[in-house]
Amino acid sequence: MRTVSPTSDHPILRLVQKCKTLDTFREIHAQMITTGLILHTYPASRILLLSSTLATLSYTMTIFNQVPNPSIFLYNTLISSLTQKDHAQVALSLYDQILTHPNLKPNNYTFPSLFKAFGAHQWFRHGQALHAHVLKFLYTPYDNFIQASLLNFYSRCGRVGIGRYFFDQITEPDLATWNSILSAYARNSSVSFLGNAGHLDGDTSSSLEVLNLFSDMQNSLVEPSEVTLVAVITACADLGALSQGIWAHAYITRKNLSINHFVGTALITLYANSGCLRLAWQLFYQLPHRDTFCFNAMIRGLAVHGLGHHALDLFETMKQEGFVPDDVTILAVMCACSHVGLVDEGRKYFESITSIYGLEPKLEHYCCLVDLLGRGGLVKEAEEMVFTMPMKPNAILWRSLLGAARVHGNLEIGEVALRKLIELEPETSGNYVLLSNMYACMNRWDDVKRVRQLMKDHGIDKTPGSSLVEVDGSMHEFLIGDRSHPLAEDIYLKLEEMNIKLQEYGHQPRTREVLFDIEEEDKEDALSYHSERLAIAFALIASDSCAPIRIIKNLRVCVDCHSSTKLLSLIYKREIVVRDRTRFHHFYNGTCSCLDYW
């Protein structure tokens, strides 16, 4: 067989660069065989890459297997190509061949592709073993390329702390590395809507870390990309940091970056999570191309703002435009039904998961169904669903049932739910508080005392209420009874004024669920010092009198704060938007968007 020099400008290799069809590829392959070019490593690597794009996997492997004594470069080339095409198992079998070959050993270019594949599939054990091989086979195991691969792998598998360790070892990280760590923290903070079963709470510490890292990235002079901005906007959405999110949106526009599906979805979520639903709507309709993710974000936004009928209308539009709903879509639609009491419609959508879309309901769908039934007063049916569902109930589901039992005064079911919750989450204070409040509403003070003694016996303190309010681009946090703010004296003077005005408007503090072993006057004071009341007081003295007050609360809004905030919106002629852990409340002119159904 005649061989030729394998130079990169060989006519056959130039044909490889231009090849677009399978027939042409086969002709080029035949010429490489007849000329002997296939026997050289570089030409063989080019034809393998082309084969992985145009031909079948078996064809590609046949080419490789016919190469006598393939080099580590050729193995690395094929492993990289296979992992990009999601053929991780075949790539792993090639790596096994390297390990058993007497004259080959993996190098710095072997591992990154495998780590990428293991991270995508979340094969944590495989990746840990591969990490051990890095230490075993490489003389200098931690160059920037390997460190970036380890960062990606551990982050993708949910070990963000380990990923951060490797990020901190990288000198002068490039854009891809910055994007990796930012995206890792953003994923960690923004648990998917499906995973959250419609709740709005996330890991705010991870979101804050995204913004801190992004500040460091800007100081490094690395220019952000669309991927960077998605992570930043996602963190802003979780925190309700509207001003910083708007800055990111403006940066995208100023730099002519693409508002693709991912950026569009993040921006819709930002504006919806910040209480700016009109801006979310506007952006949604301005997107040049929408996909299922964009529709899901908009339907979810409408749902948590209590606009259930609008959410269902958009769902119908989505189907008419040819988009296929996924499990997140159905969950968002069910959430919309739950927030406005559309029990029959919610049941119908739950049943459609299997009957129409051929999907299997996930645990989160059952959680939403139980919440829907419980809110609608069908507490017994909700309990039956819990005991007959095909998978083991989780804490979110039992808490939904306990909440429904509290609202509708079903002690028997509430006690069952609490026992299950204590088994799953023995240290979560909110579970005990829900049942304690139920007993308090029924004047069963001995039972209230028993539950709170149970909390003391387990060393459990009630989770303090926390409220964030944004004023002039800065986030201010308040805890119940907080006096740590620099303007605390002015805040408490405004709070005193608010309480006087509330009394003038006939507000009667709802003290029944406050600790029973303090005097009635002290109970009223305790309610006055709730975190959202302090946040409102601060906003009234520190923000523009025409600007909406936007508050994020870590707990569900209590009955007294809900009723008093309605009056405060009337008294001070201010729109007050409160995002609690389950939904939004838009208070305006003495009313709330939830119509007292929350």
Q: What is the pLDDT of residues 45-91, one digit of tens each?
A: 888 888 888 888 888 898 888 888 889 999 999 999 999 888 888 99
**510 falls in which pLDDT band (50, 70, 90)?**
low
Task: Tell which of 134, 157, 186 closes a domain.
Answer: 134
pLDDT for the residue numbered 201:
55
Asked if the model's pLDDT at residue 137 lies above 50, the reply is yes
DSSP 8-state code for residue 42: H
DSSP 8-state code for residue 11: H
**518 falls in which pLDDT band (50, 70, 90)?**
very low
Burial 174-208 (b: 16+ CB within 10 A, else e): eeebbbbbbbbbbbbbbbebbebbbbbbbebebbb
Q: Which structural domain, as residue segments, surrounds residue 538?
A: 466-592
pLDDT for the residue numbered 179:
94
Within-domain flag for 492: yes
Select the more confidently predicted residue: 23 or 517.
23
Within-domain flag for 371: no
Within-domain flag for 408: no
User: 187-196, 493-502, 516-525, 531-540: which has the minimum mean pLDDT?
Assistant: 516-525
Asked if the model's pLDDT at residue 312 lies above 90, the reply is yes
Task: Tell which of 134, 163, 196 closes a domain.
Answer: 134
Task: Tell which of 87, 108, 134 closes a domain.
Answer: 134
Within-domain flag for 38: yes
pLDDT for the residue numbered 520:
39
Decide: residue 432, CB within 10 A, 0-12 exposed, 13-18 middle, 19+ buried.
buried
* Rounded average pLDDT over 263-289: 92
Within-domain flag for 431: no
Within-domain flag for 270: no
Of 561, 549, 594, the C-alpha closest to 274 is: 549
Residue listed under structure tokens 């590395």: 177
Within-domain flag for 389: no
- Pairing type for strands 591-592 and 474-479 reads unpaired
pTM of the model: 0.80
Q: What is the pLDDT of residues 165-215, one digit of tens each?
A: 999 988 889 999 999 999 999 888 754 444 454 555 556 788 889 999 999
Of 348, 351, 296, 298, the C-alpha closest to 326 is: 296
Domain count across the chain: 2
Within-domain flag for 560: yes
Mean predicted lDDT score pLDDT of the chain:
86
Q: What is the pLDDT of residues 5-41, one digit of tens each?
A: 455 667 787 787 788 888 888 888 888 888 888 888 8
* Rounded average pLDDT over 540-561: 89
Q: Which two tokens stand for residue 298?
A: 């908009």
Say what percent of the chain tops pLDDT 70: 93
pLDDT for the residue numbered 7:
57
